[in-house]
């Protein structure tokens, strides 16, 4: 039998079984964190049902013709933008953000769907033949595709999800081959904006660094002046956006800069999470034996702080195994993207990798206290049906491209 017809040559069992194990870890952690909480009764059963449905969708996506993803990219992107607009009008408000559609006791967050549709739309644009990625016009178009969803997400307001879109833009532009100066143009306003949150002195220091960099790049004076003006505007715009945020969102950012400033408020979850993970030690306290988890010290721990359950009840070993599984998945996706000669498929894979990796990085980072608490779930592990469905749609696309990879490499 030729290798082309072997099942393991048509189906990526590594990706598939890694996702199954992560979902299994998530179910164990959800069961533990909801066992003694009457408000979360039924969440474990709901996640099981969502998981079965999500894997059915995974195989449906896997079976589609690969070229269909390119065909539906722009229509699906437009639909996701319309959904983001609709949720502002008729959405359900949860934790201060009007970002959910609620029906029949189920919830759906359009920003999660927009993750993958934005990746698809940018991949279509950047994979066009003879495109000059270092053209200022093309950079602006790529930025527009990536930032249009951000505008509506900020209006919800849902600050956490916006970081994913900035990462998507940077990753896809870099993968497409943008120059060092082009990358600087894209990155510098964001860096200056973040620096401004730490105070006026930091804002001035980073503006000075931008100015020095522009001098070293030796670009046209008018163009360099425009870039410098954009960086100044980014700092002031950040202050405006910060003031427009809800009080609890402002406190989350401030508690990241100084976690002890509000230990019973915005910094509470991060502090309790670190206590829980630290108390797990090497092997953990055992399943259903974590005091932070079972005594409900962390509100809604089965969502954004699910990694804390793993750290407390299964210890350092359990945490490391979970992280290794994620990195194995990331490696498989990156390897496939590196060998794919079809530009669209390669960009699409890198975009999917970026979405999953950033969710992983930010979630684990905020649980261990090195990143702000901005409310992003841990892929495949955290409770949430719509997030699980979207994650497995993305993996279905990966598996689909793996199935047909020999047509393009």
pLDDT digits (tens, 9 = 90+) for 195-252: 887 778 888 999 999 999 999 888 888 888 888 999 999 888 887 777 776 676 676 6
Give 36's contacts (C-beta < 8 A, 6+ positions apart): 294, 295, 296
Token pair of 404, please?
């047909």
- Phi, psi of 287, rounded to the nearest 5 degrees: -60, 130
Residue 376 pLDDT level (bands cut at 50, 70, 90): confident
Nearest to 305 by CA among 15, 101, 40, 86: 40
3-class secondary structure, 47: helix
Given the structure tokens 């896809």, which residue do they identify?
172
Question: How far separated are the first and last CA of the chain, in Å rounded?
Answer: 22
Whether 159 shows a pLDDT value over 90: the answer reads no
Residues 184-205, mean pLDDT to the nearest whole number: 85
**Residue 408 pLDDT greater than 60, yes or no:** no
User: Is a pLDDT exceeding 60 seen at residue 122?
Assistant: yes
For the chain, give the mean pLDDT: 85
- What residues have CB less than 8 Å from 225, skipping those under 6 apart? none
Question: Rounded to whole angstroms, what are the CA distances from 295 to 37, 202, 206, 301, 310?
Answer: 9, 41, 45, 11, 15
Work out the angle between the directed axes of helices 306-339 and 343-367 (0-180°, nearest 10).
160
- For the record, the structure tokens of 85 come out as 């607009």
Instruction: Say how far residue 324 (Cα) sits from the centre of its chain.
Output: 18
3-class DSSP state for residue 377? coil
Residue 132 has pLDDT above 70, yes or no: yes
Instruction: Place 1 in a pLDDT band, splitting at 50, 70 and 90.
Output: very low
In the prediction, which pLDDT does 248 show? 65
Query: CA of 16: how far to CAs of 23, 66, 239, 328, in Å?
Result: 11, 18, 44, 11
* Residue 260 in this model has a pLDDT that exceeds 90: no
Q: Among 64-73, 74-83, 151-160, where is mean pLDDT lowest?
A: 151-160
Phi first, then psi: what are they for 401, rounded to 5°? -65, -35
Strand order in the sheet with 92-94: 92-94, 97-103, 106-108
- The residue with greater pLDDT, 162 or 330, is 330
Q: What percent of the chain has pLDDT over 90?
A: 45
pLDDT of residue 2: 42
What average pLDDT does range 379-395 have in this prediction? 93
Share of the chain above pLDDT 70, in %: 89
Q: Is the pLDDT of residue 29 over 50?
A: yes
pLDDT band at 348 (very low <50, low <70, confident <90, very high): very high
315-325 tens-digit pLDDT: 999 999 999 99
pLDDT in the model for residue 251? 67
Q: How many CB atoms lie within 10 A of CB 318?
A: 23
Beta bridge partners of 102: 107
Q: What is the pLDDT of residues 73-102, one digit of tens each?
A: 999 999 999 999 998 888 777 666 677 777
Q: Pull the structure tokens for residue 59.
A: 């195989």
CA 218 to the chain's CA centroid:
35
C-alpha to C-alpha distance for 145 and 193, rounded to whole angstroms = 20
The torsion angles phi and psi of 108, rounded to 5 degrees, stand at: -140, 130
Distance CA 319, CA 311 (A): 5
Q: How many other C-beta atoms lie within 10 A of the C-beta of residue 375?
A: 19
Structure tokens belonging to residue 105: 């006791």
Q: What is the CA radius of gyration of the chain?
A: 22
Measured at the alpha carbon of residue 72, what is the angle toward residues 14 and 91, in degrees to the nearest 5?
Answer: 90
pTM, to two decimals: 0.87
Instruction: Report residue 39's pLDDT band, with 50, 70 and 90 as the boundaries.
Output: confident
Q: Is 352 helix (H, G, I), strand (E, B) or coil?
A: helix
- What pLDDT band is residue 310 in, cutting at 50, 70 and 90? very high
Q: Rounded to 10 degrees, what is the CA torsion of 76, 80, 86, 91?
A: 130
User: How many angstroms separate the CA atoms of 308 and 372, rounded?
Assistant: 15
The count of other CB atoms within 10 Å of the CB of residue 74 is 15
d(CA 330, CA 211): 36
User: What pLDDT score does 254 carry?
Assistant: 66
The helix (run of H) or strand (run of E) holding residue 150 is helix 136-155
Structure-block tokens of residue 133:
């990625």
């Amino acid at each position: 039998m030729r290798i082309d017809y072997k099942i393991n040559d048509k189906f990526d069992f590594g990706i598939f079984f890694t996702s199954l194990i992560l979902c299994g870890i998530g179910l164990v952690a959800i069961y533990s964190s909801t066992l003694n909480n009457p408000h979360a009764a039924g969440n474990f059963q709901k996640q099981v049902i969502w998981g079965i449905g999500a894997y059915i969708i995974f195989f449906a996506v896997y079976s589609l013709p690969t070229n269909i993803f390119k065909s539906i990219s722009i229509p699906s992107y437009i639909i996701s933008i319309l959904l983001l607009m609709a949720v502002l009008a008729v959405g359900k408000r949860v934790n201060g953000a009007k970002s959910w559609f609620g029906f029949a006791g189920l919830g759906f967050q359009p920003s999660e769907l927009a993750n993958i549709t934005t990746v698809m739309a940018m991949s279509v644009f950047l994979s066009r033949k003879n495109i000059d990625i270092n053209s200022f016009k093309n950079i602006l178009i790529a930025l527009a595709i990536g930032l249009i969803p951000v505008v509506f997400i900020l209006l919800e307001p849902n600050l956490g999800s916006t970081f994913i879109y900035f990462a998507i833009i940077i990753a896809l532009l870099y993968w497409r081959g943008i120059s060092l100066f082009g990358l600087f143009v894209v990155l510098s306003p964001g860096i200056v904006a973040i620096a401004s949150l730490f105070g006026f002195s930091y804002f001035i220091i980073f503006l000075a660094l931008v100015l020095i960099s522009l001098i070293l790049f030796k670009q046209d004076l008018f163009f360099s002046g425009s870039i410098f003006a954009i960086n100044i505007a980014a700092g002031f715009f950040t202050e405006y956006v910060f003031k427009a945020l809800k009080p609890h969102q402002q406190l989350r950012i401030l508690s990241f800069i100084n976690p002890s400033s509000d230990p019973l408020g915005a910094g509470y979850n991060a502090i309790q999470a670190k206590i829980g993970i630290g108390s797990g030690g090497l092997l953990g306290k055992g399943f259903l034996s974590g005091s932070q988890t079972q005594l409900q010290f962390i509100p809604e721990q089965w969502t954004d702080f699910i990694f804390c359950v793993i750290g407390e009840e299964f210890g350092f070993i359990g945490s490391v195994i979970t992280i290794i599984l994620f990195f194995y998945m990331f490696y498989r996706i990156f390897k496939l993207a590196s060998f794919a000669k079809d530009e669209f498929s390669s960009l699409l894979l890198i975009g999917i990798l970026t979405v999953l990796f950033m969710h992983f990085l930010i979630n684990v980072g905020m649980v261990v206290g090195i990143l702000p608490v901005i409310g992003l779930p841990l892929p495949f592990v955290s409770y949430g049906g719509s997030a699980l469905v979207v994650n497995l749609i993305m993996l279905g696309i990966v598996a689909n491209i793996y199935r047909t990879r020999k047509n393009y490499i």
